[in-house]
Amino acid sequence: MDTTKRVVPAPGYLLERIDQEVVVYHPTRTTSLYLNETGALIWEMCDGARTTADIIGILTELYPESRQEIGAQVEAMIMRLEENKIVELQA
C-alpha cells in the first residue's frame, strides 16, 4: 500500500454515529459497513489532507504502547474503506 497518498472522503454515502461507533451505507452499492471505535477514529482522520502515513503517525503518538500493530491496523482499515468506496486514495 502506498501510504503517501492522501485519504479523501468519497461522495455518495450515508453515515450515522451511534455512541463511539459508525455505520456507513452506500446507496449505490447497497452495502453497509460497521466501524468499531477504532475504525471510527481512523475514519475521522480521513479528512482529505492527511495521508495514511500521517494517520499512522498521529495514532502512534497517541498510543505508543500499540506502535507495533498500529501501522497494519490503519492500512487494513483504509483499504477496507477504499474497497467500500468510503474513501479514495489520491496522490
Partner 1 sequence: MAEYLVEFAETCVAVRYQPGRVSDFLELLFADLRARAALPVVEVLDISDPDPEGRYTIANAGGAPVFHGPLGIECAAVLYDQVISHLLWEKNHGVALHAAAVARQGGAILLPGKSGSGKSSVAAWLTAGGFSYLTDELIFLPDDGSGRAIPFPRPLCLKAGTAELITAMLPEPAQDQVLRDELGAVVPHRLLNPAFTPASPAPYLLLFPTYRHGASFHAEPISGARAAAMLMACDVNARNLPDHGFRQLTALARSIPAWHMTYGGFAGLDAVLPLLGQD
Residues that bind partner 1 (CB under 8 A): 14, 16-19, 21-23, 25, 27, 30, 32-36
The least distance separating partner 1 from the CB of residue 39, rounded to whole angstroms, comes to 10
The set of residues, in sequence order, having a beta carbon less than 8 Å from that of 61 and lying 6+ positions away, is: none
- Find how far residue 6's CA is from the centre of its chain: 11
Which one, of 1, 89, 6, lies nearest residue 51 by Cα?
A: 6
DSSP code for 3:
T
The least distance separating partner 1 from the CB of residue 61, rounded to whole angstroms, comes to 26
Residue 87, all three cell numbers: 474513501
CA distance 58 to 23: 23
Q: Which is nearer to partner 1, 60 or 84 (CB)?
A: 84
The least distance separating partner 1 from the CB of residue 31, rounded to whole angstroms, comes to 8
Q: Which is nearer to partner 1, 4 or 32 (CB)?
A: 32
Q: Which is nearer to partner 1, 22 or 89 (CB)?
A: 22
